[in-house]
A and B are shown apart, each in its own frame.
Chain A
Amino acid sequence: MGTLIAVMRRDFTLAIRAGGGFGLPLVFFVSVIAVAPFAIGPDLVLLSRIGPALLWIAALLSTLIGLDRLFGQDAEDGSLDLLLTTPSPLALIVLAKAAAHWIATGLPLAVAAPLLGLMLNLPPETLGTVALTLLVGTPTLTLLGAVGAALTVGLKRGGLLLPVLVLPLTVPVLIFGVGATAGIAGGGGFGPSFTLLLAVMLGSLVLGPLAAAAALKASQA
């Protein structure tokens, strides 16, 4: 347990201090949202209708952008080899690293989402829902992304491969996440979608770290 907390604290500290890492995903998130109306048009009715979807896509992209750092830095400086030899199960270490990564990237997005939702003219009852679904959805995205990050960790240029591998896995998260908010706006169906979103999160909470740990072992062997 001590190891896990130490790993988490270390990763979190690195995320905050290394090269303006902290807040950068958030800036990216805000930038995507800020650019979208220029492509779609300033129609506030339309924006409020597709707002939740926009926020989700932006969150998906900002989660994917930073994923290669999840194991990449550790593989470069050799600390990944150390982590592989610790007595704690590797899957739990992956979980700790994913948690640190999420606190540094996903959590700020979920917190900032209602503010951006206001700019997209979302109705008040949707604002909370978007934040809530992102709060559950972004850790799921990070966990699924951890699998992709572990698979591509040994690659010199895994940059584009990682999102290509991870995006097909994120379809259910996107559907249930946006579905829960759309259910509110459409007058029904928040509960079921949200429950399914939770189910996907719990599933990836177990399978994600296991698969990522297996991939890390295979790629360092």
Chain B
Amino acid sequence: MIALANPARFSAIAEKILPWLAGATAVLFAIGLWQGFFVAPADYQQGETVRIMFIHVPSAWLSMFGWTMMSIASLGVLVWRHPLADVAAQAAAPLGAAFTLIALVTGSLWGRPMWGTWWVWDARLTSVLVLFLMYLGVMALRAALDEPSRAAKLVAILTLVGFVNIPIVKFSVDWWNTLHQGASVFRVDGPTIHPAILVPLLINALAFTLLFLTLHLLLMRTELMRRRLRGLRLRAAESGA
């Protein structure tokens, strides 16, 4: 972590790792998609729609992974004052938002044939929706603040507040559903996952995670360049160039 504190050194290391990471992502996606479409059997209850799971579950996992990563980075901003922490938090936000959107849309497309409705106000869907709104909120707050150091701290505080909020939302919506007694109608009490489906699912989850990490490194690199560019322009303007 300390060796990575220097942005220039971080960029150099990232530059070396990125092609390998991108290659591994591509290979894993090829295996995962092939397994998902041709090897995994159709579920005896859900039929072919179970194949949506191979993109839905990894995206849902990444939606939470992204916020957790942002929360750790936020601690890095507020507690350890690591110079790269805010860059990491900033790069993770659009990625997390994109995968959360994928999780929501694929979940909806899965729910329509399975539950007979596009949307169910159950705890999982609702908390993912709230998570999506919070991703947008974090990005909007950062966009609204023009001074980078202030934006870093404020966004970090909001991220940590959200980190506390999500489990509470999940719990409260669970509670709300038992109160309204609607969930049992829609709940999919799927059987424990069979290995023939679990293995492709894990491969796909790994592929998605590597994709996230690849893009995250790339976005961090880009953001570091953007910040350096801003610094240089400021200095050039000061010296009257």
The answer to whether A binds B is yes
Nearest CB of chain B from residue A112's CB, rounded to whole Å: 26
Of the candidates B130, B160, B168, B175, the one whose C-beta lies within 8 Å of that of A179 is B175
Tell me which residues across on chain A come within 8 A of B175, comparing CB atoms.
Answer: 175-176, 179, 193, 196
Q: How far is the CA of A161 from the CA of B141 in the complex (A)?
A: 7
* Chain A residue nearest to B176 in the complex (CB): A175
B163 to chain A, nearest CB (A): 11
Among listed A18-26, A39-47, A71-79, A150-158, interface-contacting one: A150-158
B102 at the interface (CB under 8 A from A): no
Cβ-defined contact, B154 with A172, below 8 A = no
Contact of A151 among B149, B158, B164, B169 (CB under 8 A): B158
> What's the Cα separation between A193 and B180 when bound, in Å?
13
| A215 to B145 alpha-carbon distance, docked (Å) | 13
Give the interface residue-count category, chain A. Answer: 20 to 34
User: A165 to B179, Cβ gap below 8 A?
Assistant: no
**Cα distance A155–B126 in the bound complex, in angstroms:** 30
Write out the residue numbers on chain A whose beta carbons fall within 8 Å of the beta carbon of B141. Answer: 151-152, 161, 165
Interface status of B42 (Cβ within 8 A of chain A): no
Question: How many B residues, CB 8 Å from partner?
Answer: 30
A147 to B158, CA, bound (A): 8
C-beta contact mask, A187-201 vs B, less than 8 Å → 1, else 0? 001000100100010
**Given that A168-B165, A175-B172, A207-B164 are contacting pairs, would A155 and B144 also be in contact in the complex, using a CB cutoff of 8 Å?**
yes
Closest to A214 in B: B157
B168 touches A200 (CB 8 A): yes
With A152-B144, A172-B169, A179-B175: A215-B154 Cβ-Cβ less than 8 Å: yes
- Among the stretches B61-69, B132-140, B232-240, the one at the interface with A is B132-140
B76 in the interface (beta carbon within 8 A): no
- The number of inter-chain residue pairs (CB within 8 angstroms) is 89
Interface of A is mostly: helix
A151 touches B179 (CB 8 A): no
Verify if B82 is at the interface (C-beta below 8 Å from A): no
Cross-interface CB contact of B179 among A152, A154, A157, A182, cutoff 8 Å: A182
A195 to chain B, nearest CB (A): 11
Contacts known (A165-B158, A218-B157); A171 close to B137, Cβ less than 8 A:
no
A161 to B158, CA, bound (A): 12
Q: Which residue of B lies closest to A182 (CB)?
A: B179
A196 and B172 contacting across the interface, CB-CB below 8 Å: yes
Hey, which chain A residues are within 8 Å of B169, CB to CB?
168, 171-172
Check if A108 is an interface residue, CB within 8 A of chain B.
no
For B172, list chain A residues within 8 Å (CB).
Answer: 171-172, 175-176, 196
Q: At the interface, yes or no: A167 with Cβ under 8 Å from chain B?
A: yes
Partner of A169, one of B149, B161, B179: B161
Residue of A nearest to B127 (CB): A171
In whole angstroms, how far apart are the Cα atoms of A161 and B140 in the complex?
7
Within A60-113, the residues touching B (CB, 8 Å) are none
Contacts of B164 in A (CB 8 A): 207
Cβ of A219 under 8 Å from chain B: yes
Q: Report yes or no: B137 in contact with A168, Cβ–Cβ below 8 A.
A: yes
Is B124 on the interface with A (CB-CB < 8 A)? no
> Which residues from chain B contact A193 at a C-beta distance below 8 Å?
175, 179
- Of A164, A171, A207, most B-chain CB atoms within 10 Å: A171
B173 & A171 in contact (Cβ 8 Å cutoff): yes
How far, in angstroms, from A172 to B175 measured CA to CA in the complex?
A: 10
With a cutoff of 8 Å between Cβ atoms, the chain B residues found around residue A35 in the complex are none
For the A-B complex with A171-B173, A215-B154 known, give 20 more contacts whose Cβ atoms are closer than 8 Å: A151-B154, A161-B141, A164-B140, A168-B133, A168-B162, A171-B126, A171-B130, A172-B165, A172-B169, A172-B172, A175-B172, A175-B175, A176-B175, A179-B176, A182-B179, A189-B179, A203-B168, A215-B157, A218-B150, A218-B153
Q: Which residues of A contact B (CB under 8 A)?
A: 147, 151-152, 154-155, 157-158, 161, 164-165, 167-169, 171-172, 175-176, 179, 182-183, 186, 189, 193, 196, 200, 203, 207, 211, 214-215, 218-219, 221
30 A-B contact pairs sorted by A residue (CB < 8 Å):
A151-B157, A151-B158, A155-B145, A157-B144, A161-B137, A161-B144, A164-B136, A165-B137, A165-B140, A168-B133, A168-B162, A169-B161, A169-B162, A171-B130, A171-B173, A172-B165, A172-B168, A175-B173, A176-B175, A179-B176, A186-B179, A189-B179, A193-B175, A193-B179, A196-B175, A211-B157, A211-B160, A214-B157, A218-B153, A218-B157
